[in-house]
């Protein structure tokens, strides 16, 4: 696109800020405008359930870039403003204060919001999500006086919160309707190890148990009633049952959605002047499984870089290898690739010293989950990105070393 036409980004989170920076790095000198509905400098979310919640990271350290970045890079930031209407015909975006912005290219980086609890009582005082800095601040305050904490959802965020809660508040109870922790995202050996470690540290894990209702008195939550009749006492309930992509603006403007804002491999939506990146975008899985949506810093940042390249004249399809991490107390989990659909695992290492789970589908390596084994993770990312062949037999062989295998493949 010509540098005279401006890029307007809806959402001012991880993906939006990376896009602004990458556009400038690539020499784009047209106007760049970010519109974000949170009234502060754009910030990183991962520490909200880790160091920031634990009180070991300040809000200044949470910011993705300092205030000077926006001034020096000529990036106009509308913080605390919500985009409420999109007129695709006139290429105009309306904000909640009536401001109209015209664009040459619009980028939707609207992220996702917590999935509401599908049971009665979700609006009682003491029931909190963990998505924004405001949520984390509220939880930090509540943990000072909380006596009974229940976490609904044993996913990454629920378990990260549980680990911090153990040190900054009472031992929580974590419940999940699934039989396995982090069910959607990790293999059985990894899940079993994490469940064991949380229980060893006196976190009560209730798996395969469904909440039926949040009960309360005078508007405040007092307990979680389970479907089997047991009621857990609770003055604080953290809901971590996943997110919903923010697609409403796109939908109202008639853009195609498919479990997220539908984009092609170049991250373009059904309107050639509009792209979508980050948590809100449903993009074609390079492995050919259809459209997928990922919720990670890697995905938000790499899609932003890919789009910046396209907007400055070097388009390439988005094929970056997904990777993730999660910190739960002393456990650091790093995942390279997507393990969905794996049919075989091979474990290397030892539970108390660090280990990696190699996940295969039809004999092909698709993901490596490393627990307290960072060098394996870094090697696995290179190996998977380069498509170096590795069989379950290779991994199971005595003396196997991932790094040596990688060196042998010369990637
Ligand atoms: C507690 C927590 C811990 C996490 N930990 C990890 C981790 O350890 N590792 C990892 O890889 N990922 C982690 N993630 C996920 C990661 O933070 C997200 O994948 C990433 O922030 C996505 O970036 P994004 O720019 O797509 O969306 P976001 O960062 O969510 O930004 C989107 C912004 O757009 C705003 N917005 C939405 N609609 C509008 C509108 N109409 N007008 C204006 N603004 C709008 C939203 O309010 C939000 O501020 C974590 C997330 C959370 C919540």
For residue range 351-399, what is the model confidence (pLDDT) as tens digits?
999 999 999 999 999 999 999 999 999 999 999 999 999 999 999 999 9
Report pLDDT for 197: 97
What is each CA distance from 1 to 17, 231, 240, in whole angstroms? 20, 59, 41
Query: What's the rounded mean pLDDT across residues 36-65?
Result: 96
Q: Whose CA is nearest to atom 16 of ligand 1?
A: 296
pLDDT of res. 169: 87
CB count in 10 Å sphere of residue 216:
19
Other residues' Cβ atoms within 10 Å of the Cβ of residue 109: 31
127-241 shares the fold of 7-113+244-311: yes
Best residue for ligand 1 mutational test, from 8, 36, 112, 274 (most atoms within 8 Å of Cβ): 36
Q: Which of 3.40.50.300, 3.40.50.80, 2.40.128.260, 3.50.50.60 is the CATH number of 7-113+244-311?
A: 3.50.50.60
Alpha-carbon distance of 242 to 152, in angstroms, equals 10
| CA 247–ligand 1 middle distance (angstroms) | 14
How far, in Å, is the centroid of ligand 1 from the Cα of 400?
A: 38
Q: How many A from CA of 15 to the centre of ligand 1?
A: 8
From the candidate CATH numbers 1.20.1250.20, 3.30.470.20, 3.50.50.60, 3.40.50.920, the one assigned to the domain spanning 127-241 = 3.50.50.60
Percent of the chain whose predicted confidence (pLDDT) is above 90: 94
| pLDDT tens, position by position, 307-358 | 999 999 999 999 999 999 999 999 999 999 999 999 999 999 999 999 999 9
Q: Is the pLDDT of residue 4 over 50?
A: no
Say what the pLDDT of residue 5 is.
66
- Residue 2 confidence (pLDDT) above 50: no
> Structural domain boundaries of the chain?
7-113+244-311, 127-241, 330-409
What CATH superfamily classification does 330-409 receive?
A: FAD/NAD-linked reductase, C-terminal dimerisation domain (3.30.390.30)
pLDDT at 32 over 60: yes
Q: What is the mean pLDDT of the chain?
A: 96
Going by alpha carbons, the residue nearest to atom 17 of ligand 1 is 45
Nearest CA to ligand 1 atom 4: 46
Contact residues of ligand 1, CB 6 A cut-off: 10-16, 35-38, 45-46, 48-49, 82-83, 109-111, 130-131, 157, 246, 249, 278-279, 295-298, 300, 324-326
396 alpha carbon to ligand 1 midpoint, in Å? 38
């Amino acid at each position: 696109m010509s540098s005279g036409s401006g890029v307007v980004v809806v959402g001012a989170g991880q993906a939006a800020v990376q896009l602004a920076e990458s556009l400038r790095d690539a020499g784009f000198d047209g106007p760049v405008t970010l519109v974000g509905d949170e009234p502060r400098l754009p910030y990183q979310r991962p520490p909200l359930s880790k160091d920031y919640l634990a009180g070991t990271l300040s809000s200044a350290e949470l910011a993705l870039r300092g205030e000077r970045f926006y001034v020096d890079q000529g990036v106009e930031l509308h913080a605390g403003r919500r985009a409420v209407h999109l007129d695709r015909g006139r290429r105009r975006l309306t904000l909640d204060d009536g401001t109209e912005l015209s664009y040459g290219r619009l980028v939707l980086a609207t992220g996702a919001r917590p999935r509401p609890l599908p049971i009665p009582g979700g609006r009682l005082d003491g029931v909190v999500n963990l998505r924004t800095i405001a949520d984390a601040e509220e939880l930090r305050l509540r943990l000072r006086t909380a006596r009974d904490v229940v976490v609904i959802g044993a996913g990454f965020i629920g378990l990260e919160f549980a680990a911090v809660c153990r040190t900054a508040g009472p031992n929580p109870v974590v419940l999940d309707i699934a039989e396995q922790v982090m069910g959607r995202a990790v293999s059985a050996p990894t899940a079993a190890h994490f469940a064991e470690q949380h229980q060893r540290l006196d976190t009560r894990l209730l798996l395969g148990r469904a909440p039926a209702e949040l009960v309360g008195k005078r508007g405040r939550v007092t307990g979680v009633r389970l479907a089997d009749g047991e009621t857990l006492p609770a003055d604080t309930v953290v809901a971590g049952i996943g997110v919903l992509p923010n697609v409403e603006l796109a939908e109202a403007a008639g853009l195609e959605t498919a479990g997220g804002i539908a984009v092609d491999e170049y991250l373009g939506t059904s309107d050639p002047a509009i792209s979508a990146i980050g948590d809100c975008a449903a993009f074609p899985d390079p492995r050919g499984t259809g459209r997928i949506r990922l919720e990670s810093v890697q995905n938000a940042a790499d899609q932003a870089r890919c789009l910046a390249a396209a907007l400055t004249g070097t388009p390439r399809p988005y094929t970056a290898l997904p990777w993730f991490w999660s910190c739960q107390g002393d456990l650091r989990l790093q995942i390279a690739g997507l393990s969905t659909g794996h049919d075989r695992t091979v474990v290397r290492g030892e539970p108390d010293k660090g280990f990696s789970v190699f996940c295969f589908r039809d004999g092909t390596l698709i993901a490596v989950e490393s627990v307290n084994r960072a060098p394996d993770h870094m090697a696995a990312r290179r190996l998977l990105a380069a498509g170096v062949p590795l069989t379950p037999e290779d991994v199971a062989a005595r003396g196997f070393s991932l790094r040596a295998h990688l060196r042998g493949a010369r990637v």
